[in-house]
Structure 1
Amino acid sequence: MLKMLFKMLCNCGSVEHVAGEVRRSSLQLYRGFQGPGLLFCCNIDMAATALFKALRCVRSRAAAAGALRLFCSGFPQTVRVLYDGECPICVKEINFLRLVQKKAGKVDFVDISAAEYDGSRHGGVSYEMAMEEMTVIDENNKVHRGVSAFAVMYKAVGLGWLARFITLPLIRPLMDRSYIVFARNRLKWTGRDKCTTGRCAK
């Protein structure tokens, strides 16, 4: 359970955000446990407090972020699928994948068109970068783009056979070429061909 908690915290991004999540999570755990469970919650709170006190001693925010990434490297994160919530075709596929997902919570679907989207919390992938082509961040925070991103996404939701199919030596080149065509024309085909900068709402 402690590992699950820190996995969630490591997805939060900034040190300040993580600090707030620690307080909220430890309070919820405290309310949910009785007897010996209280000691467990106190240990979480003390460990988290010590971690963030140490991070505050780091001179720069960049160094603090680096320290946080180092700490979080031992906790594999969920797969994050970045998608354009203003793209009807994309949304239909995401809704389908949510239905077929075999392990609830293993995949986070992140809408890049949301006003609160922050690329610094998602592998440094900006809105503009994510709009260029399909982007998925795996459990080890590695960024995958294009057909490789689809393969990671399909495998994560339980469609491993489809992931293997689109990466077959004879199929992959065709998939790459087809996706390039789609990526270049996606905005046009969804009625947003005049969108060049900023949020591309239809």
Structure 2
Amino acid sequence: MPFARRHFYHFIGGSESKYAPEPGVGWLNKAGWLDVIKCHSGFRDSWRALMNRTQGKLIVFYDGSCSTCIKDRRWYEKLAGKTGESVEWLDITGRDDELLQQGVDPDKALRELHVKDDQGEIHREMDAYILLMSRVFVLKPLAWLISLPLIRPALAKLYHAWVERRLAARA
């Protein structure tokens, strides 16, 4: 695949997203160009799949030694109200063995948000944020916005850069 198309593919989430596999199957046609129809239908289907998981108990794995993470948790609980009762918050600090039993890599748990749904599936990074936000009425528009194919990977890059700075400052 030519350089420019490969980087555009990466930007729209090609290697970062489970919804955009190899050319000819996902968002890219066989020539390596963006297939808008497949992109839209893939986005629509993935959004519907996430919206179907807005019921049931969630377990959020978060870094309890991170002051920003604690503030974000309180902010979410305040906005969620009674909906927040279906979310269990698990501080990952010092729980490496428990995380491994749950199927979560402890190092990745520090670098990405992980959420386990009531069916036992682990959602990470932007999928986890979208799942959490889609549960709260006032956050649903934001969940929809960050799930858009051009916004999601850009936001993921910013998020990873912020986490790396936070972990470097803590070390």
**Alpha-carbon distance, 1:129 to partner:** 3.0
- Residues 10-54 of structure 1 show CA distances to partners (whole Å, capped at 9, x for unaligned) of xxxxxxxxxxxxxxxxxxxxxxxxxxxxxxxxxxxxxxxxxxxxx
Q: Describe the shift of the 1:77–1:183 C-alpha distance in structure 2 as closer, same or farther (beyond 3 A).
A: same
Q: 2:142 corresponds to which residue?
A: 162
Answer 1 or 2: higher relative contact order, Cα 8 Å, separation at least 6. Answer: 2
- Counterpart among 126, 144, 151 of residue 171 in structure 1: 151
Q: Does 1:150 align with 2:129?
A: yes
RMSD, matched Cα: 2.3
Confirm or deny: 8 A CA contact 1:138 1:152 kept in the other structure. no
Which runs of at least 4 in structure 1 moved beyond 4 Å after TM superposition? Answer: 114-117
Q: Comparing 87-96 with 148-157, which one deviates more in the overlay? A: 148-157
Q: 1:97 corresponds to which residue?
A: 76
Q: 1:110 corresponds to which residue?
A: 90
Select the structure of larger CA radius of gyration.
1
SS of the counterpart of 1:113? coil
Structure 1: segments with no counterpart, 5+ residues: 1-75, 195-202
Structure 2: segments with no counterpart, 5+ residues: 1-54
Q: Describe the shift of the 1:98–1:174 C-alpha distance in structure 2 as closer, same or farther (beyond 3 A).
A: same
**Alpha-carbon distance, 1:101 to partner:** 1.2
Q: 2:119 corresponds to which residue?
A: 140
**Alpha-carbon distance, 1:126 to partner:** 4.2
Q: Comparing 125-134 with 135-144, which one deviates more in the overlay? A: 125-134
- Residues 106-149 of structure 1 show CA distances to partners (whole Å, capped at 9, x for unaligned) of 1111111156982256x322433311211111222111111111
For residues 183 and 86 of structure 1, what CA distance do their matches in structure 2 show?
Answer: 13
Confirm or deny: 8 A CA contact 2:111 2:160 kept in the other structure. no
**Alpha-carbon distance, 1:104 to partner:** 4.1
Identity of aligned residues (%): 30
- Normalising by structure 2, what TM-score? 0.58
Q: Describe the shift of the 1:114–1:101 C-alpha distance in structure 2 as closer, same or farther (beyond 3 A).
A: farther
